[in-house]
Amino acid sequence: MEILGTVIGITIKSLIFIVGMFLAAAYLTLVERKFAGHVQQRPGPLHVGYHGLLQPIADALKVLTKEDLVPDNADKFLFYLASLLAFVPSIMILAVVPFGEPFEIFGFTIYPYISDVNVGLLLALAFGSISLYGVIFAGWASNSKYPMIGGLRKAAVLIGYEVALGFAIAGPIMQAGTFSLKGIVEAQQGLWFIIPNILAFVVIIFAVLAETGRTPFDVQEAEAELVGGYVTEYSAMKFGLFPLAEWYIATFVLSAITVILFFGGWNPLPLLGWLPIPGMVWFFLKLFAVFMFFLWVHWTLPRYRVDQITELAWKVMLPLALANIFIVAIWIMIFG
Amino acid sequence: MELNNVAFWTFSSLAVLSAIGVVFFRNIIYAVLSLISTLIMVSGLFFNMGAELIGALQIIIYAVAIVVFYVLVISTVPEDKGQTVDVNYMLVSLPVGFLIFIELAYVALYGAWKSNTGMFTPEVVKEMGNVKAVASMLFTKYLFPFEVASVILLVAMIGAIIIGRKDHVLDEEA
């Protein structure tokens, strides 16, 4: 009976997280479109609701009721599976990301995370990289040129940046002495890990942009050369899942991990700890700032060529990440 | 029925099912897909046994880093060619597969017999955590094999780069 309770509890909590993430992602599309509009000196969505506030709902209705086309020569099963394979792992990262400390409401202790595993950071990395298969299989199953090229490009980019990302997160792990994301935040109550880990932070910024396929690195879509990249043959909600997974959910969750690794998670800003602001609010403020930074980069910079991206990954990012490990090791030796 | 048991039977039966899929799927991309599924299910088994570090590494290294190269190679094979089967290869693959099976069975039985005889009893692991347990062994007792393995990998990598290099590269910075 006890087990049943645990299972039901975890299921309900996961459902809350997933539904919340969906709603947040829907409105993140609006944030992004408004932001992109103002960056490019146009108003963005304006007419559905007050200043386009109902636009995400209209978009969702449209994308859900559209005719769902599957190309004749596509591998039907893989074609369906690929869109899920891109989407599900990025939402699975939520299972290990903590959003704050446990707090009490009406006598119930509420844990704002689903699980606090010992290897949370590694699991987040693992789930993030599984979604790569969604892109490759989408390219293969569509059975056409552009998706194929898009999928292979994405794979080439991801392989390079996964390695750099793996080395970059080693710095915060070394300082905190644990893989648990909650433990890493708790280790940053004094100084944030951004201080000795600045190189790793740079690497992570690049890696997140590359992993989520945002603009300086969006060679997998490259609408000017590849039509739509690996999503060319997709339509309706199967199409919608890809940008939803990559541009919104993955960016959001990876921003959360960046905040946890470098900006002290839900610890307050330095010198502002006396303000009566709960930790979760601090966390979401920082999260939002990092997320907007990614949008800012996305909507201002032009696109790299694919060979430049992989060159950057192997020749610049990987040495930077290794140098960061060296610096952090010395820092730990000196300051303990 | 305990939750651990349920998880064990689910993961192991799915792992065996997808392993059968790897062998019997005619379409090679489905075979790779079942391979990924097998590896993820095995990582689920590791988690179930409390070896969460190995479970996570299983996903990162095997299910993603290694298999992605299989997928990259295989996905460049056109769909119709991916479905042919060459019987000649069976002559080689059957005995080799049998040898590997015997080796794995030996390792599994030996491991089951030797388990819990070292210094890392479940209590010790529970106290210090998997990561520290693995690291303390890797960087003390097994440091030499570890370094040798990394040197071998380095040699292999440099060798591959040298073999794969073109003799004269046209337009380097075009």
When comparing pLDDT for A307 and B155, which is higher?
B155
When comparing pLDDT for B26 and A208, which is higher?
A208
Asked if pLDDT for residue B82 goes beyond 70, the answer is: no
pLDDT confidence of residue A67: 81
Shortest distance between the Cα of A71 and any Cα of chain B, in A, equals 15
How many domains are there within chain A? 2
- For residue A123, name the pLDDT band (cuts at 50, 70, 90): confident
Question: Which phi and psi angles does A105 have, rounded to 5°?
Answer: -130, 125
When comparing pLDDT for B144 and B171, which is higher?
B144
| Cα(A201)–Cα(A194) distance, integer angstroms | 7
Asked if pLDDT for residue B69 goes beyond 60, the answer is: yes
Task: Tell me, yes or no, whether A189 and A263 share the same domain.
Answer: yes
Nearest CA in chain A to B72: A152
Average pLDDT over residues A253-270: 83
- B68 touching A (Cβ < 8 Å): yes
Average pLDDT over residues A101-112: 70
Task: Tell me, yes or no, whether B2 and B67 share the same domain.
Answer: yes
Residue B108 lies in a domain: no
Please provide the average confidence, as pLDDT, over all residues in chain A. Answer: 82
* All residues at 6 or more sequence positions from A102 whose CB lies less than 8 Å from its CB, including other chains: A109, A110, A111, A112
Task: Tell me, yes or no, whether A18 and A32 share the same domain.
Answer: yes
pLDDT confidence of residue B85: 65
The conformation of residue A109, written as its DSSP 8-state character, comes to E
Residues of chain B positioned with their CB less than 8 A from the CB of A3? 2-3
pLDDT confidence of residue B84: 62
Domain residues for the domain of B8 are 1-85
Nearest CA in chain B to A5: B3
pLDDT confidence of residue B54: 84
pLDDT confidence of residue B100: 93
Task: Tell me, yes or no, whether B77 and B8 share the same domain.
Answer: yes
Closest CB to B75: pick one of A117, A129, A136. A136
pLDDT confidence of residue B151: 94
pLDDT confidence of residue B105: 92
Q: What is the β-pairing status of strands A103-105 and A108-110?
A: antiparallel
pLDDT confidence of residue A50: 83
Residue of B28, B47, B60, B69 for testing the chain A interface, max A β-carbons within 10 Å: B60
Shortest distance between the Cα of B107 and any Cα of chain A, in A, equals 27
Residue A110 lies in a domain: no
Task: Tell me, yes or no, whether A220 and A158 share the same domain.
Answer: yes
Asked if pLDDT for residue B103 goes beyond 90, the answer is: yes
Residue of A7, A11, A96, A140 for testing the chain B interface, max B β-carbons within 10 Å: A140
| Cα(A236)–Cα(A221) distance, integer angstroms | 17
- Say yes or no for a CB contact (<8 Å) between A125 and B60: yes
Residues of chain A positioned with their CB less than 8 A from the CB of B65? 129, 159, 162
Residue A153 lies in a domain: yes
| Cα(B92)–Cα(B10) distance, integer angstroms | 33
Task: Tell me, yes or no, whether B63 and B136 share the same domain.
Answer: no
pLDDT confidence of residue B102: 94
Lowest mean pLDDT segment, chosen from A307-316, B93-102, B144-153 = A307-316
Task: Determine contact, residues A122/A18, Cβ cutoff 8 Å.
Answer: no
Residues of chain A positioned with their CB less than 8 A from the CB of B40? 130
Task: Tell me, yes or no, whether B66 and B130 share the same domain.
Answer: no
Residue A108 lies in a domain: no
- Say yes or no for a CB contact (<8 Å) between B59 and A117: no
- B135 touching A (Cβ < 8 Å): no
Chain B residues 111-130 within an 8 A CB cutoff of chain A: 129-130
How many domains are there within chain B? 2
pLDDT confidence of residue B155: 94
- Say yes or no for a CB contact (<8 Å) between A3 and B2: yes
Shortest distance between the Cα of A163 and any Cα of chain B, in A, equals 9
Residues of chain B positioned with their CB less than 8 A from the CB of A174? none
Considering A108-122, A236-250, A317-331, the range whose residues carry the highest mean pLDDT is A317-331
| Cα(A300)–Cα(A8) distance, integer angstroms | 46
pLDDT confidence of residue B173: 53
Give the pTM: 0.83
Angle at CA A241, nearest 5°, toward A240 and A242? Answer: 95
- Say yes or no for a CB contact (<8 Å) between A143 and B79: yes
Find the helix packing angle between A2-39 and A55-65, rounded to 10°: 110
Residue B160 lies in a domain: yes
Neighbouring-strand partners of residue B80: none
| Cα(B160)–Cα(A184) distance, integer angstroms | 38
Task: Tell me, yes or no, whether A152 and A276 share the same domain.
Answer: yes
- B53 touching A (Cβ < 8 Å): yes
* All residues at 6 or more sequence positions from A257 whose CB lies less than 8 Å from its CB, including other chains: A93, A97, A121, A124, A181
- B170 touching A (Cβ < 8 Å): no
pLDDT confidence of residue B80: 63
Asked if pLDDT for residue A220 goes beyond 60, the answer is: yes
Average pLDDT over residues A240-262: 85
Nearest to A227 by CA among A152, A148, A132: A148
pLDDT confidence of residue A28: 86
pLDDT confidence of residue B152: 94
The A-side interface with B (CB below 8 A) comprises 3, 6-7, 75, 78, 81, 117-119, 122-123, 125-127, 129-130, 132-133, 136-137, 139-140, 143, 148, 151-152, 155, 159, 162, 166, 178-179
Domain residues for the domain of A45 are 1-65
Residue B156 lies in a domain: yes
Average pLDDT over residues B123-135: 76
Average pLDDT over residues A199-204: 89
Give the position of tokens 């030499």: B144
Task: Tell me, yes or no, whether B80 and B126 share the same domain.
Answer: no
Closest CB to B59: pick one of A126, A136, A179. A126
Asked if pLDDT for residue A166 goes beyond 90, the answer is: no
For the four alpha carbons of A170, A171, A172 and A173, in that order, the dihedral sign comes to positive
Give the position of tokens 């591959």: B160
Residue A183 lies in a domain: yes
| Cα(A14)–Cα(A93) distance, integer angstroms | 11
Residue A267 lies in a domain: yes
Shortest distance between the Cα of B166 and any Cα of chain A, in A, equals 17
- For residue A296, name the pLDDT band (cuts at 50, 70, 90): confident
Asked if pLDDT for residue A190 goes beyond 80, the answer is: no
Please provide the average confidence, as pLDDT, over all residues in chain B. Answer: 81
Question: Which phi and psi angles does A108 have, rounded to 5°?
Answer: -95, 135
- Say yes or no for a CB contact (<8 Å) between A118 and B3: no
pLDDT confidence of residue A254: 87
pLDDT confidence of residue B106: 92
Residues of chain A positioned with their CB less than 8 A from the CB of B36? 133
Q: List, in sequence order, the alpha helices (H) in A144-265.
A: 145-168, 170-176, 181-186, 198-211, 223-226, 236-243, 251-262
Task: Tell me, yes or no, whether B79 and B2 share the same domain.
Answer: yes
Quick: pLDDT tens for A302-315: 888 888 888 888 88
- Interface size A-B, in CB pairs within 8 Å, comes to 76
